[in-house]
Amino acid sequence: QVTVRDALNQALDEELERDERVFLLGEEVAQYDGAYKISRGLWKKYGDKRVIDTPISEMGFAGIAVGAAMVWLRPVCEFMTFNFSMQAIDQVINSAAKTCYMSAGSIAVPIVFRGPNGASSGVAAQHSQCFAAWYGHCPGLKVVSPWSAEDAKGLLKASIRDDNPVVMLENELLYGVPFEMSEQAQSKEFVIPIGKAKIEREGSHVTLVAHSRPVGHCLEAAAVLAKEGVECEVINMRTIRPLDIETVEASVVKTNHLVTVEGGWPQFGVGAEVCARIMEGSAFNYLDAPAVRVTGADVPMPYAKILEDNCIPQVKDIVFAVKKALNI
């Protein structure tokens, strides 16, 4: 078993070793081994030029990273939380995402922006926002959102090797969680293709679509519902942009019901996009009931634990949504 933290560390180590153009920069990533210990041991191994501590200035170090990518280095830019990426939104969107298009393809920007996204625990509104819908909205970016250790390793390696800017939305509460990791995933050449969802559990009655930490909640809800004779198919999106709608459509054709689950806010969210795409496509004709969304509450995250728990989708909320979709 490997934790998500160790899987990310493994991916960074392997890619730094594989390609001398790859470097990591961000707050506390070097001498302190990273705020979440993702970069543990890398500064000692690769030195100051490859693992770089920056001042607390997201706009500054994101701009440096984008400039480096434009001259064919491959920076990995860590935000201590994606809430702070708002300080650098001009660099991420106007500089990184749009440059390849505006230069008619002559300037690639091979950069990865990564760090924890969405709600952690007891950190209130300014550290708890999910940016999957924000970044998924913008053409020019690829956006990935891993759940398991295998997702984390395979998607980070694929992101570093990609010639486009990639936003990798990790989850702080998953960093210490151990997952089974296949022998194949331990290999140095293991990558997960960007833009391909994974069916984590086969089922026949309802399709559950989620990304990041809510995938685990969906699997727990599926286990609860299985005891009542309801078989859920659980899809781990893995990638927010480009969206693998084909896998979702094939599942909906089989189950005739759809429930989306996410930690982000409801309005214009990832689940809203999945539902819209299903409605616009051929799978709509196979739906036996309206699609149901399970999302975070439509408020800034409160600090009190009991309120926080009520703001984030729980297993009971998913079970309730499935029963609503199936009218049971």
DSSP 65-109: HHHHHHTT-EEEEE-SSGGGGGGGHIIIIIIIIHHHHHTTTS---
Give the Cβ contact number of residue 41 at 10 Å.
Answer: 14
Handedness of CA 181, 182, 186, 189 (dihedral sign): negative
For residues 217 and 145, what is the distance between their CA atoms, to the nearest angstrom?
Answer: 15
Give the separation between CA 11 and CA 301, rounded to whole angstroms.
32
Provide the residue count of the chain: 328
Q: Is residue 211 flagged as an active site residue?
A: no
66 touches 91 (CB < 8 A): yes
Six-digit token pair at 89?
Answer: 């939104």
Gap between the Cα atoms of 188 and 157, Å rounded: 9
In whole angstroms, give the CA distance from residue 315 to residue 317. Answer: 5
Beta bridge partners of residue 52, listed in sequence order: 25
Amino acid at site 4: V
- Exposed/middle/buried for residue 37 (C-beta within 10 Å: 0-12, 13-18, 19+): middle
Catalytic residue among 14, 27, 58, 172: 58
> Shortest CA distance to 132 belongs to which of 260, 280, 221, 24?
260
Put residue 141 in one of left, alpha, beta given phi > 0 → left and psi -120 to 50 → alpha.
Answer: beta
What SS3 state is found at 112?
strand
Of 27, 127, 233, 257, which residue is the catalytic one? Answer: 127
Give the largest Cα separation in the chain, rounded.
60
Q: Is 137 a catalytic residue?
A: no
Q: Which residues are catalytic?
A: 58, 127
